[in-house]
Amino acid sequence: MSNVEIVEADLGCVLHQQAVVELIDAYAVDPMGNGRPLPPQVRANLIDGLRRHPTTLILLAWQDGRAVGIAVCFRGFSTFHARPLLNIHDLAVLPDCRGGGIGRRLLEAVAEKAAQLDCCKLTLEVLENNHRARRLYEAAGFAQARYHESAGGSLFYAKPL
C-alpha cells in the first residue's frame, strides 16, 4: 500500500474530474451505494455542481497512476461548538482494491484536513447493513452520535423533493 497517494482533488483538472465521475459511478453501482449507475445527466452535471457548491472538499486515492478511492466531503457548522465540522458524504474504494487499507488512509487524510480547518468533528452516514464500512468507521473511532444519554442515539432522516 506504500504506493497509494492521497491528494486533494483539483476540480479544474480534467484528470481529477474524470476520476471523480468514474469513482462516484462505481460507488453508485455497488449494492451499498445506489445499486445502479449514475444517470447520464448526473454524470454530465456532477463536476459543475461540485465546483459550484461552496463547501466541497474531495480527496482522491491514487495507486500506480490509477484513481482507486474517493472521499467526498462538505464543510458544515456546529452551533453547539461554534466551529466548523466536516461531513464525509461519500467514501468509496474500487471493489478490486478493497481490503488494502485505502479506505483507512482516506479517513486519516480527511481527519488531517479537518484538523487543519479547525473542525470540531467529522460526521458521516452509513447504511445499517453495510457491515464492512461500519467496521472501518468504528475502527477509525466513529460511533452513533449520542449527545445526551436520555435523548438516545441520532438517526438520519431524508425527505425526497
- The topology under which CATH files domain 4-142 is Aminopeptidase (3.40.630)
Nearest to 8 by CA among 116, 119, 136: 116
Whole-prediction pTM value?
Answer: 0.95
Q: Where are the domains of the chain?
A: 4-142
What confidence tens digit (pLDDT) does each residue in 11-42 have? 999 999 999 999 999 999 999 999 999 999 99
Element of type H or E holding 7: strand 4-8
What confidence tens digit (pLDDT) does each residue in 108-141 have? 999 999 999 999 999 999 999 999 999 999 999 9
